[in-house]
Amino acid sequence: MDVSEFRRFGHRQRWINTPIDRRGLDEVLARLPVQPGSKVCDLGCGTGAWLRALVDSGFEGACEGVDSDDLAIDEAVRLSEKYPSIRWQVGEGEAYLASASGLGGVFCVGSSHALGGFQSALSAIGGALSSGAWALVGEGFWENEPCEQYRSFLGGDLGLMSHAENVAAVESQGFDCLWATTATTRHWDDFEWDFYRVARDWARENPQDIEASSTLEKRTAWRNAYLEWGRGTMGFGYYLLRKP
């Protein structure tokens, strides 16, 4: 199994690539001010969990998922045979937004880095939304000041702010922030341990595979950093905003 195959395997095992559970996802969707017949896109859609859940909640409109990972899109297509209203495309979110206008809603959960960072993502999303439309942006933040060991492990502070500063950033871009919530410790535990488990199982099933062994080593280091420094320090927020 090569790296690309593992990436697809990992996505399939972790049903969504963000720290949230199904109940939490449903609670978020219930707050979206969706308009029937509008168009909604998901930037960095991965395997498409947000859009499928939106359709399952009763949304009637066009949906489009965009991701630069062709294998994730392949998996999204496979999982969405019963969702004809959703289209999938391999591409960059920045290019997609540059040519989009009049969108009724946007998901950008954990994907702002592909748009130049949180502030740049907000600006680009705002330019593509119609007046009164919504966006759900998922972004990391510091719950507590990270220690130097954790900063070093991550390669810096990642440009993260606090949860309150993220809300202020949303409003500074001219959006109405309708609601915000954060991932719980349980959400984070499930997220980190799920990805570790995939690497562990792969390595056990392929004991002679150097790539599997290397991946497990990296995931173990990441898990240990989470347990020692990241748990209760790294946060993740979900910000529901509306363009006036």
Q: What CATH number is given for 24-184+236-242 in this structure?
A: 3.40.50.150
- pLDDT number for residue 157: 82
Tell me the pLDDT tens digit for each residue of 40-94: 999 999 999 999 999 999 999 999 999 998 988 998 999 999 999 999 999 999 9
- pLDDT number for residue 24: 96
Torsion of CA 225, 237, 191, 134, to 10 degrees: -150
- pLDDT number for residue 98: 92
Q: Which two tokens stand for residue 110?
A: 């954990």
Query: Rounded to the nearest 5 degrees, what angle is found at the Cα of 167, between the Cα atoms of 163 and 169?
Result: 110
**Spacing of C-alpha 68 from chain mean position:** 13
Question: For residues 165-183, b (16+ Cβ closer than 10 Å) or e, as one string?
Answer: ebbebbeebebebeebbbb
Q: Where are the domains of the chain?
A: 24-184+236-242
Q: What is the DSSP letter of 78?
A: H
91, 79 contact by CB (below 8 A)? no
CB atoms within 10 A of CB 45: 29
Bridge partner residues of 103 (DSSP): 129
Torsion of CA 69, 186, 236, 52, to 10 degrees: 40
Q: What are the 10-residue block averages of pLDDT along the chain, 244 residues in total?
A: 52 81 96 96 96 97 95 91 97 93 97 94 97 98 97 92 98 98 98 91 89 90 98 98 98
Residue type, 36: P
- pLDDT number for residue 1: 45
Q: How far apart, in whole angstroms, are the C-alpha atoms of residue 140 and residue 136?
A: 13
Q: Residues 6 or more apart from 52 whose CB is under 8 A from it?
A: 79, 80, 83, 86
Q: Which two tokens stand for residue 4?
A: 């690309």
Q: Which two tokens stand for residue 9?
A: 């395997």
- pLDDT number for residue 14: 82
Q: How far apart, in whole angstroms, are the C-alpha atoms of residue 89 and residue 32?
A: 24
Tell me the pLDDT tens digit for each residue of 123-137: 999 999 999 999 999
